[in-house]
Amino acid sequence: MALSPPVFVALTSRGAALARRLQPDFPGSLVHGFARRVETCDVAFEDATAHLAMLFTLGTAIVAIASSGIVIRALAPHLADKRNEPPVIALAEDGGSIVPLIGGHRGGNALARRLAALTGGHAAITTAGDLALGIALDDPPPGWRIATPDMLKPAAAALIAGEAATTESDVGRTAWPDALLPSHDDARAQSGIRLVVTTRAAPRPGALVYHPPRLVLGIGCERDADPGAVVGFVRRALAEADRAEGAIACVASIDLKLDEAAVHEVAAALDVPARFFSATELAAQEPRLATPSSYVKSVVGVAGVAEAAALAGAGADATLVLTKQIGPRTTLALAQAAEDIDPTRIGRARGRLDIVGIGPGPAGWRTPSASEALLGAEDIVGYGLYLDLLGPLIAGKRQHARALGEEEARVKLALDLAATGKRVALVSSGDAGIYALATLVHELVERGDDPLWRRIAIATMPGVSAMQAAAARAGAPLGHDFCAISLSDLLTPLPAIERRLQAAIDGDFVIALYNPASLKRRAPLDMAVALLRAGRPAATPVVIARNLGRADELVRVVTLGALDPTEIDMLTILIVGSSATRCGPSGVFTPRGYAQKPRSEASS
């Protein structure tokens, strides 16, 4: 099976050094380090047991540079179904021993052998099938699906015991598993284990059945066709045609349907990718169509979307095994290829733009969803400093740095890249939806400079905002009602800023002030300080936070009366307390009133 990039979990600095040495050989991998012992890593954690369990339950491949005992004790309570558990490797700090603890047949054994080749160590493979047969029946080639998993154990046990085996295939000879199994004479094979490779759905009692990725499902549908109805139609048509859902490699359609919900719903229901072709690419299939339509050609430029898409995806030697079927506002067709299909090599995917807030900078303040989006992206777009902060997390990816102030250029570049079918991450500091680029993305898509932008899948990954980071460093000043106001008058007129600020003062909100000042822009801050001093006591706490999470971080608390505006710049955020905010022995906080509740209510 294809392995996703693993996470290296290091508990010591020596283990982290080994992880860093191995990381370049696993593009997209991350190093997670125990905070008290590992100084530099992509993600820091405090509780090793909880962190390992979290990664495991998320389905992450784990290479733990730690003792087997630590890993076993951490994961034992979470073991449930070996068919769905990710590979977990225990790797010695010197690289000498590599032990696949879990998921040996889900890529763990292959990962262990790869690590051993890199470290010069020994992969301690203990699974019987690998040792006795050199083949794991539950680890078929990429894209293959096991239709009768209940037969895995008896088939493997019989083969290990020396019983005969035979393979049956209705897709021609396959290199797996037939070529890897010991041969037997026909007489013995008749009573032995049956391994069946088929695209058919009909039951094969007593056989271990595999579905290879040989089918492409072509879909044509009207705009806004009901996704549920289309999924139901697809499943009924496949059943009637005796074709297995597990043999479908991908769903294919015309690129006009890149954003069609029904097409993507079918792909999700079948757990396969959706791929798309241009009208020109589909028109090249017209001589092969069984049911061409002049009407369809007049509308979309090709004489049949479903059949043409299925054939284009399945290749030149493909045959239509299900001609065009007409359903509710939908057509479908099915083509079978002569070889296994790799969906990543045909057509194009729907482009995806992830707008990623990376927090103030340190890996420990980055959300897992942000890291996953960055790992999954092909191209990364952002301000150069933000890309530098990401370091090894985006190493090897295409990076597109743009200068500070070129926000619209950054967003347009990211949209253009995604419109070509790529998966793109647009990087923002803090939270991308707070005074950052997410809103500009949606504004430009709505404006419609390029119609292709509307066919992109767009998602925003939350990040730790500057006000959250500043509040956390100072204590809990945002413990009760608060608001955020940007003092930048580049995009917001100064009178509007003044009105909002005065309203926040009158409402007695804790106020987070973003973009307080720059070398050329001091008037808004001076105005804000004057309004605040007129409306709040001089003793009001003010948190000044600069370069949060970086080497030259500065966080201090002053009173409103002692605040010196000349010390504030664009790298600073201010949090101005309300009438209830105070400085205690453990930090600045704004009480919410818990202490005033009756005991029974406070504990409920």
Per-residue pLDDT tens over the stretch 327-382: 999 999 999 999 999 999 999 999 999 999 999 867 778 888 898 899 889 999 99
Q: What range defines the domain where residue 507 resides?
A: 467-589
Q: Is 595 inside any structural domain?
A: no
Burial 494-508 (b: 16+ CB within 10 A, else e): eeebeeebeebbeeb
Same domain, 191 and 122: no
Distances from the Cα of 237 to the Cαs of 197, 199, 216, 244, 446, in angstroms?
A: 21, 14, 14, 11, 38
- Predicted pLDDT at 191: 52
CB atoms within 10 A of CB 369: 16
Q: Is 454 inside any structural domain?
A: yes
Same domain, 318 and 356: no
Same domain, 237 and 329: yes
Are the beta carbons of 143 and 342 closer than 8 angstroms? yes
Q: Which residues pair with 588 in a beta bridge?
A: 475, 583
Q: List all residues 6 or more positions away from 276 whose beta carbon is below 8 Å from its beta carbon.
A: 252, 253, 254, 255, 257, 258, 347, 348, 349, 350, 421
Q: Angle, nearest 10°, between helix axes 407-419 and 438-447?
A: 60
- Predicted pLDDT at 188: 45
Domain-terminating residue out of 126, 157, 190: 126
Same domain, 517 and 424: no
Which CATH number fits the domain that encloses residue 430? 3.40.1010.10
Same domain, 75 and 120: yes
Same domain, 279 and 198: no
Residue with tokens 């068919």: 83
Are the beta carbons of 330 and 262 closer than 8 angstroms? yes
Domain-terminating residue out of 211, 228, 248: 211
Residues of the chain with pLDDT below 70 are 1-3, 128-135, 178-191, 361, 594-604
Q: Is 597 inside any structural domain?
A: no
- Predicted pLDDT at 163: 78
Same domain, 57 and 86: yes
Q: List all residues 6 or more positions away from 109 whose beta carbon is below 8 Å from its beta carbon.
A: 100, 123, 125, 127, 130, 136, 139
**CA 22 to CA 9: how far, in whole Å?**
12
Which CATH number fits the domain that encloses residue 575? 3.30.950.10
- Predicted pLDDT at 109: 86
Q: Is 256 inside any structural domain?
A: yes
Tally of domains in the chain: 5
Q: List all residues 6 or more positions away from 21 whose beta carbon is below 8 Å from its beta carbon.
A: none
Question: 484-526: per-residue pLDDT in tens?
Answer: 999 999 889 999 999 999 999 999 999 999 999 988 889 999 9
Domain-terminating residue out of 464, 498, 513: 464
Distances from the Cα of 154 to the Cαs of 85, 137, 243, 355, 591, in angstroms?
A: 21, 11, 26, 48, 64
Q: Is 192 inside any structural domain?
A: yes
Are the beta carbons of 252 and 281 closer than 8 angstroms? no
DSSP for 91-118, written as a single string: E-TTS-EEEEEE-GGGTHHHHHHHHHHH
- Predicted pLDDT at 125: 81
What are the tokens at 154? 């008896």
Are the beta carbons of 545 and 466 closer than 8 angstroms? yes
Q: Is 602 inside any structural domain?
A: no
For 40, list phi and psi in degrees, rounded to 5: -125, 125
What are the tokens at 600? 């029974």
Q: Is 18 inside any structural domain?
A: yes
Same domain, 460 and 476: no
**CA 338 to CA 590: how far, in whole Å?**
69
Same domain, 403 and 387: yes
What CA dihedral angle connects 314, 319, 322 and 327, to 10 degrees?
Answer: 50
Q: Is 74 inside any structural domain?
A: yes
Same domain, 219 and 282: yes
Which CATH number fits the domain that encloses residue 97? 3.40.50.11220
Same domain, 446 and 475: no
Same domain, 244 and 317: yes
pTM of the model: 0.78
Which CATH number fits the domain that encloses residue 291? 3.30.420.180
Q: Which residues pair with 33 in a beta bridge?
A: 10, 44
